[in-house]
Amino acid sequence: MSDREHDPRTSELLAAALRAHPGDAIRLGALIEPLHERAFGFLLLILALPNFVPVPIGIGGPMGVLVALAGLQMLLGLDRPWLPRRIADYTLRRSIAERVVRAGQPLLRRLERLCRPRLEALTRRPASLFSGLLLVLVGILLALPIPFTNWPIGALLLLYGVTLLERDGVLLLVAWGLSLATIGTFASASGAILTLLRRLF
């Protein structure tokens, strides 16, 4: 039995992170720093959750950039994410953070029931380099102004976050497959849209 089975579950980590910052504002860097090697999964989880609540138009751009940045750092072999100071010092209002967490809890609970430590080597280097490459591409897709991408990409990022936190290599393989399918689908759709626009104009 892996000692990872005794780690806090993902939902427990989220609840603990909120409890650890009782003020009205929560600093993003303060949520990430204590998690060490689990921080990439937690960061992806945080970036996934806003896709399930109404957010201002255009938020996908900066969120996608952050996803791509996290993927690039995994691709470079970093042990934990590095955030630019401006982003690390970004503060979330507690009310918004709690609303976002509540919105993602139903899907998160379902994923937790499926997850357990399996094929853990796939969640670490060198296999994690492939996760990083796919996340760079997924982040670019999220940043592009392509309609209807937020929810499916948000679900995909939630899957990445939970599988990395729970060290579930089996479900990570599923995330890889869904990433390739998503990248292919939206790339084809973008090409079809460009072709249609050329014909019209």
Count the alpha carbons within 13 Å of 42 in the hemisphere toward its beta carbon. 26
Domain that holds residue 90: 3-200
pTM of the model: 0.74
Q: Taking all residues of the chain, what is their mean pLDDT, rounded to a whole number? A: 77
Residue 7 — left, alpha, or beta (φ > 0 → left; ψ -120 to 50 → alpha)? beta
Residues 40-73: pLDDT tens digits?
888 888 888 777 665 555 555 678 888 999 999 9
Contact between 165 and 45 under an 8 Å Cβ cutoff? The reply is yes
Sorting pLDDT into bands at 50, 70 and 90, what band is 195?
A: low
Q: Distance (Å, rounded) from C-alpha 4 to C-alpha 30?
A: 23
Contact between 123 and 168 under an 8 Å Cβ cutoff? The reply is yes
Residue 8 — left, alpha, or beta (φ > 0 → left; ψ -120 to 50 → alpha)? beta
What DSSP element (H or E) covers 27?
Answer: strand 25-27
Total tally of structural domains belonging to the chain: 1
User: Per-residue pLDDT for 3 more than 50?
Assistant: no
- 192 or 100, which is more confident: 100
- 192 or 28, which is more confident: 28
Residue 84 — left, alpha, or beta (φ > 0 → left; ψ -120 to 50 → alpha)? beta
Arithmetic mean of pLDDT, 136-151 = 79
Q: Distance (Å, rounded) from C-alpha 113 to C-alpha 155?
A: 16
What DSSP element (H or E) covers 93?
Answer: strand 91-93
Q: Which residues pair with 27 in a beta bridge?
A: 91
Give first-to-last CA distance, the chain, whole Å: 62
What's residue 130's pLDDT? 94
